[in-house]
Amino acid sequence: MSNKVDPNLIRELEEFGLKDANKCYNCGNCTAICDLATEENPFPRKLVRYIQLGQREKILKSPEPWLCYYCGDCTTRCPRGADPGETMMVLRRYLTSLYDWTGFSRKFYTSESFEMLAVGVVALLVGLGLLIFHSGPINWVHTDLNSVWPSGDIEKADLVMAAILLFFLGTNVLRCVKIVMGDYFSKVPVGMYMSEMKFMLIHLFTQKQFGKCKDRQQWIVHLAIMTGYASVFLMVVVFVNGLPLGIDWLKFQRGWESLGHRTEYSIFHPIRLIGYYSTFAIMYGTTYALIGRIKKSKPQYKNTHGTDWMFLALLQLTALTGILINFTRLMDKPFPTYAIYVIHMMVAIPMLVLEVPFAKWAHLAYRPVVLMLLRVKARYIAEHEQVKDAALEVTPAL
């Protein structure tokens, strides 16, 4: 690993929000009180020291930024006010930009105007697309989204969008894997990676490691936002037309004709239950986080980056417009429903195709993947050393 000192590293990290790293005098208090730091992966002190020494390559290959969930204990207890928790957040932004081969992440994190412009352009294209490409004749008597944008067509567009999203996110995650694993990437057999997939999925959907931090409220908020959004994604991309098989009773977007005489799903229908949960979880999580950032009530809310605001705003607007669509649909108001639907898509799609692979949402992918990689690497080293030791025992001394 290179030990080349880069004197410009701190200046570069300042573009990602770094402020107080030079205040640190390496007392180690932050690492000592962290519930997640271990002997093998001590942080935040080690990473702060890397910054001070200009060790760009060591930071690039370090898994520790992804092991931190920013509970804020280290920042609260820092005797120098160096804000190590925020420094770890800065490093996650920085690493996200390095994993991304397109360069969009760096632009999002270093230029608020670029992020706003990118979101605005995609939103405008989505709005124009929905207004230009629709079926007819439109039902202006009763609310019927399928008369304007049939669920089958929307599902095809969703699948194309999901494929694009997964391509960019997947290739960036692969770069993350190669960087974190280093020389072990090609040595570890594919089967060993696959055997740890269950571990990764558990951490992805439960964020259970966060639950070890003292501030469990923050874990609940984090989990609510993640699972709420995942539920919305499931309904919109997978169930919009009742799965690829077109199962009517699982359709998320139902038209007037499919409803017949306005027979709605029962309150206990799976689609409605998922919808209720996702709405509550997103509104609860985003409202808590937004109020926290406005009041600066916790360490992790005192230094809010522009991408944090964009992430929360788009997510809450997606939920709010979704609620409004449901109300106007039930009131059988065609024009308001169709208009709000366009706005809803203009908010939701930019969040999917821009924020998920290139900004804040990408953290949800990198973190469980890195946790899995640490297990894979430790397992490979243990098994390799056991074989090596066994070979030495049967090899006669020269």
Residues 88 and 29 in one domain: yes
Could you tell me the CA-to-CA distances from 386 to 27, 305, 372, 374 in Å, in that order?
Answer: 37, 47, 21, 18
Residues 116 and 69 in one domain: no
pLDDT at residue 70, rounded to an integer: 92
Residue 126 amino acid letter: V
Q: Is residue 362 part of a domain?
A: yes
Residues 343 and 213 in one domain: yes
pLDDT at residue 396, rounded to an integer: 42
Residues 40 and 114 in one domain: no
pLDDT at residue 366, rounded to an integer: 95
pLDDT at residue 385, rounded to an integer: 66
Of 45, 72, 99, which one is at a domain's C-terminal end?
Answer: 99
Owner of token pair 């594919």: 190
Count of domains forming the chain: 2
pLDDT digits (tens, 9 = 90+) for 194-253: 999 999 999 998 988 998 888 889 999 999 998 988 887 777 665 554 455 445 545 555
Q: How many CA atoms lie within 13 A of 373 on its CB side?
A: 27
pLDDT at residue 264, rounded to an integer: 61
Residues 76 and 136 in one domain: no
Which among 165, 118, 152, 177 has a CA at the least distance from the CA of 372?
Answer: 177
87 neighbors 59 (Cβ within 8 angstroms): no
Q: Is residue 291 part of a domain?
A: yes
In angstroms, rounded to a whole number, what is the distance separating the alpha carbons of residues 242 and 244? 7
Which among 165, 205, 220, 228 has a CA at the least distance from the CA of 368?
Answer: 205
Residues 94 and 155 in one domain: no
In angstroms, rounded to a whole number, what is the distance separating the alpha carbons of residues 111 and 128? 26
pLDDT at residue 238, rounded to an integer: 59
Q: Is residue 383 part of a domain?
A: no
Of 84, 99, 114, which one is at a domain's C-terminal end?
Answer: 99
Residues 168 and 108 in one domain: yes
Residues 84 and 169 in one domain: no
Residues 117 and 265 in one domain: yes
Q: Is residue 91 part of a domain?
A: yes
- Distance from CA of residue 239 to its chain's centroid? 21
Of 51, 83, 99, which one is at a domain's C-terminal end?
Answer: 99
Planar angle of CA 367, 62, 373, nearest 5 degrees? 50
Residue ranges in the chain whose pLDDT is less than 50: 1, 241-242, 245-246, 249, 256-262, 390-398
Per the prediction, the chain carries an average pLDDT of 86
Residues 358 and 224 in one domain: yes
pLDDT at residue 258, rounded to an integer: 45
Residues 122 and 51 in one domain: no
Q: If you ran DSSP here, which 8-state letter would residue 212 be given?
A: G
Residues 185 and 299 in one domain: yes
Owner of token pair 């494929």: 163
For the chain, how far is it from start to end, CA to CA, in angstroms? 32
Q: Is residue 35 part of a domain?
A: yes
Q: Is residue 394 part of a domain?
A: no
Contacts of 278 (CB under 8 A, 6+ apart): 227, 228, 229, 231, 232, 235, 319
Q: Give the structural domain span for 61.
A: 9-99
In angstroms, rounded to a whole number, what is the distance separating the alpha carbons of residues 281 and 225? 6
